[in-house]
């Protein structure tokens, strides 16, 4: 058995062998021909169904049925843009191999080599090439040819999605959108109102390719159920949306009013707090000045008089004859200019115990200098 060269798939090798056999085929009296229906270059089918790609061969001047001497080599390939050649079915030396969903319409031996494809999918679309080589019992090629048929698998529109774009209030504009996620060929869209009365829309308010319906200057009479229908050559699907045109303020207006009110209340509260802080500030400054200010200078007191301090922090009584202790005799050699006072009955010295019995309270008496000031 001949193995393919490295990097060359087996399907490509078989294709090369078939071309080589056709080149070596001698001229014969019976001319070999491979046929497809006249004018049939492209076949359309719907996804999920099956399709038959018809093909057959003949020898001119001979019966249409296969002869016992014929040895058939048949291959079907799928060619897709940007992809490698794919073998779909092969019948070589009486043995048939095939991909899932592919089969021959007629059992071999037969000169009808039509291909049946079942459970079609969109990815099955492409160009299908049928290659046939016929040999006799001695291995002599009697003819070779190939034909191509293009298959296009169509997909009906998937259920579309309908949406309302905008706020439906009296006097405003809105847009209804409709889009099918999958459709081959591309779907065209049609909008109509089904309730309360039927109304069909056309261009320019309707864009049948994009699926947009523009409704301008809304009024209450435009409320209702709007139905969109997506259609292509193999099917259709629809969706609907309910339009309710309101005459009152929209939700955005209400939300704006609420937000404005909250912002206004916040600003008012801030101003009140600021005013209160500004009113307390002078009092706090005045208190700080009283606490930090230096004590006022004390005025000199005259000797021999009773004076009460007026700064509120210290009260003292001085030079009271009743509370002044008696003068001691002056030292020897001291000046005798001043005569010591002798206690009398009316102005005598009172002891601390006597003051206590009378309810007197001891106080601090600041010392005085000769000028009479407190030190």
Question: SS in 3 state form for the chain?
Answer: CCCCCCCCCHHHHHHHHHHHHHHHCCCCCCCEEEECCCCCCEEEEECCCCEEECCEEEECCCCCCCCCCCEEEEEEEEECCCCCCEEEEEEECCEEEECCCEEECCCCCCCECCEEECCCCHHHCEEEEEEEEEECCCCCEEEEEEEEEEEEEEECCCCCEEEEECCCECCCCEEEEEECCCCECCCEEEEEEEECCCEECCCCCEECCCCEEEECCCCHHHCEEEEEEEEECCEEEEEEEEECCECCCCHHHHHHHHHHHHHHHHHHHHHHHHHHHHHHHHHHHHHHHHHHCCCCCCCCCCCCCCCCCCCCCCCCCCCCCCCCCCCCCCCCCCCCCCCCCCCCCCCCCCCHHHHHHCCCCCCCCCCECCCCCEC
- What torsion, rounded to 10 degrees, do the Cα atoms 193, 197, 203, 208 define? 30
Residue 86 CA to its chain's centroid (Å) = 41
Of 322, 317, 295, the C-alpha closest to 307 is 317
Distance CA 258, CA 333 (A): 101
Task: Report angle CA 57, 154, 102 to the nearest 5 degrees.
Answer: 40
Q: Parse the chain into domains and list their residue ranges.
A: 32-154, 161-243
Q: Which CATH class is domain 161-243?
A: mainly beta
Phi, psi of 258, rounded to the nearest 5 degrees: -65, -45
| CB-based contact 71:93 (threshold 8 Å) | yes
Record the pTM. 0.56
Going by C-beta distance under 8 Å and a sequence separation of 6 or more, which residues neighbour residue 321?
347
Q: d(Cα 57, Cα 35) in Å, to the nearest integer? A: 6
Q: Does this chain's domain 32-154 share its CATH topology with 161-243?
A: yes
**pLDDT score of 283:** 57
List all residues 6 or more positions away from 280 whose beta carbon is below 8 Å from its beta carbon.
none
d(CA 191, CA 274): 61
Query: How long is the chain?
Result: 375
Q: What confidence score (pLDDT) does residue 38 get?
A: 86
- Rounded CA gap, 317 and 133, in Å? 146
pLDDT tens, residue by residue, 111-120: 999 999 999 9
| pLDDT at residue 292, rounded to an integer | 53
Distance CA 121, CA 48 (A): 6
Of 3.40.50.970, 1.10.3210.10, 3.40.50.920, 2.60.40.10, the CATH number of 32-154 is 2.60.40.10
Residue 227, strand partner residues: 192, 240
pLDDT under 70 in the chain at which residues? 1-30, 63-64, 66, 248-255, 279-375
Contacts of 142 (CB under 8 A, 6+ apart): 25, 28, 30, 32, 59, 70, 134, 135, 136
Tell me the C-alpha distance between 191 and 213, whole Å: 7
What are residue 133's phi and psi, to 5 degrees? -135, 125
Locate 37 and state its tokens: 């229906």
């Amino acid at each position: 058995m001949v193995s393919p060269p490295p990097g060359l798939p087996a399907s490509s090798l078989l294709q090369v062998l078939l071309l080589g056999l056709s080149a070596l085929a001698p001229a014969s009296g019976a001319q070999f021909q491979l046929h497809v229906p006249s004018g049939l270059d492209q076949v359309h089918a719907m996804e999920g169904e099956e399709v038959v790609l018809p093909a057959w061969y003949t020898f001119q001047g001979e019966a249409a049925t296969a002869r016992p001497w014929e040895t058939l080599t048949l291959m079907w390939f799928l060619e897709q843009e940007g992809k490698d050649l794919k073998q779909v079915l092969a019948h070589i030396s009486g043995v048939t191999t095939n991909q899932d969903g592919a089969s021959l319409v007629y059992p071999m031996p037969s000169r009808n080599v039509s291909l049946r494809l079942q459970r079609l999918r969109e990815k099955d679309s492409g160009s299908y090439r049928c290659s046939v080589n016929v040999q006799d019992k001695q291995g002599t090629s009697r003819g070779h040819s190939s034909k191509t048929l293009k298959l296009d698998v169509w997909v009906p529109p998937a259920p579309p999605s309908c949406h309302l774009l905008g706020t439906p209030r009296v006097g405003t504009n809105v847009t209804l959108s409709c889009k099918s996620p999958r459709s081959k060929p591309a779907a065209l869209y049609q909008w109509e109102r089904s309730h309360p009365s039927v109304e069909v829309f056309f261009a320019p308010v309707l864009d049948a390719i994009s699926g947009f319906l523009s409704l301008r200057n809304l009024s209450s009479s435009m409320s209702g159920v709007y139905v969109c229908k997506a259609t292509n050559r193999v099917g259709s699907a629809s969706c609907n949306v309910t339009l309710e045109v309101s005459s009152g303020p929209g939700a955005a207006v209400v939300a704006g009013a609420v937000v404005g009110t909250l912002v206004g209340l916040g600003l008012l509260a801030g101003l009140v707090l600021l005013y209160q802080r500004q009113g307390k500030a002078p009092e706090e400054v005045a208190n700080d000045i009283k606490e930090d200010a230096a004590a006022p200078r004390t005025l000199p007191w005259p000797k021999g008089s009773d004076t009460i301090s007026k700064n509120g922090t210290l009260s003292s009584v001085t030079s009271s004859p009743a509370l002044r202790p008696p003068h001691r005799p002056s030292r020897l050699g001291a000046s005798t200019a001043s005569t010591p006072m002798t206690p009398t009955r009316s102005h005598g010295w009172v002891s601390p115990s006597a003051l206590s019995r009378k309810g007197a309270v001891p106080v601090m008496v600041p010392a005085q200098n000769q000028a009479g000031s407190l030190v």
